[in-house]
Amino acid sequence: MEGPGQAAEVAEESLMMFVKAKVLHLVRAQPSPSPPPLRLWNAARSGSVLSGSTGRSHWSSIARPISGGAVGRLRRVERQCCSRSRPGRAALCVWQLRRQARQRREYLQRRAQEEQLRRQEEKKQKLRQALDENRLLPTELRREALALQKELELDTPGLDGTGSQDDEYRWAGLEPPRVMVTTSREPSSRLRLFAKELCLLLPGAWRMNRGRAELGALVGACQAAGVSDLLVVHETRGSPDGLLLCHLPHGPTAHFTLSGVVLRQEVGGLGGAPLAAPHLLLLHLDSPLGRRVGTILKHLFPVPRPDSRRVVTFANQDDVILVRNHIYKRRGRTVELEEVGPRFQLHPYLIRLGTLEQGDAADVEWRWHPYTATAPKRRLLSTT
């Protein structure tokens, strides 16, 4: 019988074979060099392998730390703007707060309307299925069956509306994402090094020293700086074990359990870290929840150039997402893969529709429960 170590080696070898096959297919499908034609990148994000062209972000590619004092300076500037001695700036500050509140109300209203439309579509689907199978109508649909049937006659098949999940990333492709990485308070040296390597994994990401800043001040500083995503890494006794991913300005916020962290220096024999935007491979993330998690993760990366030699893989294995970072070289008709790190595993357990500072006040979209790991519901991120 195979032990746990041998089983892990077999799984790693199968993952490498899959990545090599996908990279070989990508290399063969690459067109001849041409000027970059794409400016809007949302169309390229529909597939599991993202390829396109992009200009260089005005954010630096090097992971430079931002001092935690920036949060304090921002709060002092806000207090000065809202002081009574400066009525013009106070009016500007009030106008900004009103605009943020108005945008939040519009977003919540739009999401409520889309939720109502989704429930209406589910009722139509049940009615259509009952009519096709020539069986009794469900009890909850008998009162409004005639009205639903009239709407079915007017519906156009094949058209699907955009949900609130898509609305959160509607403008995500207009410019490269701006990612900020920070840690919990009083981080260990290993956690600081892992945060730095996360900035190497995410092109154009910045690292901010946490200091004593609270979550509300962090989110406010990131919103003022135009940050699109905020990553907070946690640890237990010097070992990274948690990752919070907050999409700004309205959410969602995904909570992951972090395990199996292997840093670049622990891999050994590596050169400089590749800073090019990578191609993305999403493996076995085909269930509704898996597609949702894949959407949250893939929008951390800009669309790569077609000739990029870097590949980042998110492979689902028993509801655990394996994250691998490779570079490849062409050798005739084959390719050679080299892992450049870091490597780690993500296990999602909570998705909220609000931002990080809202906490329990935000609506819960999905939560992992202890009894969801039973046999009929074991695979949550994939359908196979």
What's the pLDDT tens digit per position in 326-371? 898 888 888 888 888 899 999 999 999 889 988 888 889 999 887 7
Check residue 66 and give its pLDDT: 53
For residue 235, is it within any domain? yes
Q: Helix and strand tally (H, E) in the chain?
A: 9, 12
Same domain for 316 and 344? yes
Q: Of 115, 147, 166, which residue is a domain's last?
A: 166
In this prediction, residue 56 has a pLDDT band, given cuts at 50, 70 and 90, of very low
Q: Is residue 242 included in any domain, yes or no?
A: yes
* Residue 343 belongs to some domain of the structure: yes
183 and 98 in one domain? no
Name the residue range of residue 116's domain: 82-166
257: domain CATH number is 3.40.50.10480
pLDDT in tens, 169-207: 877 778 899 999 999 999 999 999 999 999 999 998 999
> Is 31 a domain residue?
no
229 & 308 share domain: yes
Q: In whole angstroms, what is the distance from residue 184 CA to residue 279 CA? A: 30
Boundary (domain end) residue, out of 138, 166, 194? 166
Q: Are residues 342 and 264 in the same domain?
A: yes
Question: Are 125 and 265 in a shared domain?
Answer: no
Question: b/e per residue, 62-72, with b = 16+ CB within 10 A?
Answer: ebeebebebbe
DSSP bridge pairs for 24: none
59 & 99 share domain? no
| pLDDT tens digits along 199-234 | 999 998 999 998 888 888 889 889 888 899 999 999
Report which residue type is found at 278.
P
Q: Is residue 42 part of a domain?
A: no
The pLDDT of residue 8 is 67
Q: Which residue has the higher pLDDT, 184 or 2?
A: 184
Cα distance between residue 272 and residue 17, in whole Å: 25
Q: 69 falls in which pLDDT band (50, 70, 90)?
A: low
Residues 61 and 92 in one domain: no
d(C-alpha 74, C-alpha 80), whole Å: 10
pLDDT at 269 (0 to 100): 59
Same domain, 184 and 299: yes
Provide CB contacts within 8 A for 132, sequence distance 6+. none
Confidence of residue 379 (pLDDT cuts 50, 70, 90): confident
**Angle 101-107-112 from CA coordinates, rounded to 5°:** 125
pLDDT at residue 76 is higher than 80: no
Q: Which residues of 3-36 are buried (b: 16+ CB within 10 A; e: fewer)?
A: eeeeeeeeeeeebeeebbebbeebeeeeeeeeee
Can you list the alpha helix ranges (DSSP code H) found in the chain?
A: 4-28, 69-81, 87-133, 145-154, 164-168, 189-201, 215-224, 264-267, 288-298
Chain-wide mean pLDDT for the chain? 77
Taking the complete model, does pTM exceed 0.75, yes or no?
no
Task: Give the count of domains, the chain.
Answer: 2
Q: What is the pLDDT of residues 100-114, one digit of tens each?
A: 778 778 877 887 888
| pLDDT computed for residue 346 by the predictor | 96
* pLDDT at 163 (0 to 100): 54
Residues 161 and 209 in one domain: no
pLDDT at 53 over 50: no
Check if the beta carbon of residue 282 is closer than 8 Å to that of residue 48: yes
Tokens representing 90 are 């106070």
Per-residue b/e over 200-222, b at no fewer than 16 CB within 10 Å? bbbbbbbbbbbbebebebbbbbb
Spatial contact of 331 and 23, defined as CB atoms under 8 Å apart = no
Task: Return the pLDDT at 108.
Answer: 78
294 close to 284: Cβ distance less than 8 angstroms: no
327 strand-pairing partners: 310, 338
Domain boundary among 166, 189, 206: 166
Q: Which of 153-162, 309-318, 359-368 has the lowest mean pLDDT?
A: 153-162
**Do residue 308 and residue 332 come from a single domain?**
yes
Please answer whether residues 361 and 258 qualify as being in contact, where contact means their C-beta atoms are separated by less than 8 angstroms: no
pLDDT at position 143, please?
83
Identify residue 353 by its one-letter amino acid code: L
- Regarding whether 87 and 156 lie in a shared domain, the answer is yes
136 assigned to some structural domain: yes
Same domain, 138 and 162: yes
d(Cα 218, Cα 272) in Å, to the nearest integer? 31
Please state, in angstroms and rounded to a whole number, the distance separating the CA atoms of residues 114 and 162: 8
According to the model, what pLDDT value does residue 145 have? 83
